[in-house]
Amino acid sequence: MTNKYMYFIANWKMFGGLNSLNSLHKVAKFYKKFHKSKFAKIIYCPPNTLIRPMFKKLVNSRIDVGAQNCHENESFGAFTGSVNPRMLKSVGAKYVIIGHSENRQSGEKNKLINSKIKSSLNSNLKVILCIGETLKEKRKKITKKILSLQIKAGLKNIRNKKNIIIAYEPIWSIGTGIIPKTNELLDTINFIKKNNKKLKVLYGGSVNPKNIQTLKSINNIDGFLIGGASQNPKKFIDIIKKTYN
């Protein structure tokens, strides 16, 4: 049983069309009645194509909308295929995920991540910074070193961290159904928090209605970044309900 303020962030990745918005009213209805809703913050991060229609659907629901990535340029520019934070903000996004491992794996480096974070904050978006180690790094026992580096480089020269949330997502856990051992996760989250006082730290990677029973017992976690399960409103609601049961 928790009464803690917790984040539940839905990362839809490259899934969903306009018809995927049809079932959102279920989550909005649930959230309105949910007796713990003042403790639970829900943020939906759909593909950019759905930000505006989703924002309109969720208006008055107190559920926020965010983006999954952005360009590092604050102003307009000749960057084919890109969208900057200001543009995301103008269509209703309040948050942006930056440094997701799926983007890091396709070449996004810490320096670029740092620029994206700065320009997002300047554009008044709140940032969810994803960090996490590969299986190889875990086996080499360099997880903490990797995470420290990702945070240090990602947040370089950013003094005001009040609009930053960290999401710890071990890469080997994303989409695999495998979650870290309870004691390991507790230790890793404590490590991140010890070095970054005041920052909220979420966990992400294969969160589902079954393993939430285990994950919720790790009491230093401030919420969850949920991929696959968040596309199904029933599962998403279940995860939130069980966190508080």
- Active-site positions read 100, 169
Q: How many residues of this chain bind ligand PGA (CB under 6 A)?
A: 12
Q: From the CB of 204, what's the least distance to ligand PGA, in Å?
A: 4
Cβ neighbours of 196 (radius 10 Å)? 17
Any idea what the Cα angle at residue 210 is, between residues 208 and 213, rounded to 5°? 105
Check binding of 174 to ligand PGA (CB under 6 A): yes
Candidate ranges 36-44, 181-189, 211-219, 225-233; the one touching ligand PGA (CB under 6 A):
225-233
Which of 96, 215, 226, 240 contacts ligand PGA by CB under 6 A? 226
Check binding of 179 to ligand PGA (CB under 6 A): no
Per-residue DSSP letters for 15-54?
A: ---GGGGGGHHHHHHHHHH-TTTTTEEEEEE--GGGHHHH
- Considering the complex, state which of residue 1 and residue 14 has its C-beta at the smaller distance from ligand PGA: 14
> In whole angstroms, what is the distance from residue 115 CA to residue 35 CA?
39
- Considering the complex, state which of residue 64 and residue 86 has its C-beta at the smaller distance from ligand PGA: 64
Q: From the CB of 101, what's the least distance to ligand PGA, in Å?
A: 7
Candidate ranges 69-77, 87-95, 137-145, 205-213; the one touching ligand PGA (CB under 6 A):
205-213
Cβ contacts of 234 within 8 Å, gap of 6 or more? 26
- Considering the complex, state which of residue 86 and residue 151 has its C-beta at the smaller distance from ligand PGA: 151
In 175-245, where does DSSP find H-type helix? 182-195, 212-215, 233-244
Q: From the CB of 165, what's the least distance to ligand PGA, in Å?
A: 13
Q: From the CB of 207, what's the least distance to ligand PGA, in Å?
A: 5
Residue 201 DSSP SS3: strand
Rounded to the nearest 10 degrees, what angle do helices 233-244 and 24-33 cross at? 20
Instruction: List residues binding ligand PGA (CB under 6 A).
Output: 11, 169, 174-175, 204-207, 225-228
